[in-house]
Amino acid sequence: MDELTAHPISLPRIGEPAPEFTAVTTQGTINFPADYKGSWVILFSHPADFTPVCTSEFMTFAHMESQFAEAGCKLVGLSVDGLYSHIAWLRTIKEKIEYRGMKNIEVKFPLIEDITMEVARKYGMIQPGESNTKAVRAVFIIDPKGIIRTIIYYPLSLGRNFDELYRALIALKTADEFGIATPADWRPGDDVIISPAASCSSAQNRMEGKEEGLECKDWFFCTKKISKESVLSKVIKKS
């Protein structure tokens, strides 16, 4: 029996509840996603402790943790290594590693012990074509109701783009707050997308400029302006 037959890959889907689990972490036991109800969460996996790409990523996540927190988002990491390995690795990062001007970086968010790969398999983090023994670099953005909103997978060799992870979070929150969609490469302050007209009369009104505040390229492609200040006042916590 091959690995795929013995352990079929379970792939959670966007719009579905995040699979539940209880796990030991570097910050104590967590019940996921119940413990995070009411907050956005980024759950992410990495292949192994004491590896250079993972080290660069954890330092970046830890450096940006306060930025994510201001956006109402908590971080939870996972690898298939054990708790003591996690602790030793995170101590090494703080005490010895400097990367891109970052040093003395303390990782305060939970890092899940998953030596049985139970959680990794629930989330499709073990991809046999890449590795049977290491989790790929998976990212799940989960909303305050525990619903999966975004899934991104990276191979072992490719470090993540953290600006994009943050941009995706802000875009998701903006879409929810304003009932809009965001176009390619959207950043706060850029024009947003309005849902296509749902009737012939609405399409006609849009093309005749009768819907105030819209700029329409065609009946199905309309944008409007939302200021950067308006976006950030809704999606970033006031200090």
Binding residues for substrate: 137
Q: Which of 54, 73, 216, 222 is catalytic?
A: 54
Residue 177 tokens, joined: 């707050």
Q: How many CA atoms lie within 13 A of 49 on its CB side?
A: 23
CA 78 – CA 89 distance, rounded (Å): 13
Would you state the torsion angle of the CA atoms of residues 120, 121, 125, 130, taken in this order, to the nearest 10 degrees?
A: 120
Task: Decide if 113 contacts 24 (C-beta within 8 A).
Answer: yes
Active site residue 54: yes
Distance CA 136, CA 157 (A): 9
What CA–CA distance (Å, rounded) separates 220 from 41?
33
Cis bond before residue 33 (omega within 30° of 0): yes
Detail the residues annotated as belonging to a binding site.
Answer: 137
Q: Which residues are catalytic?
A: 54
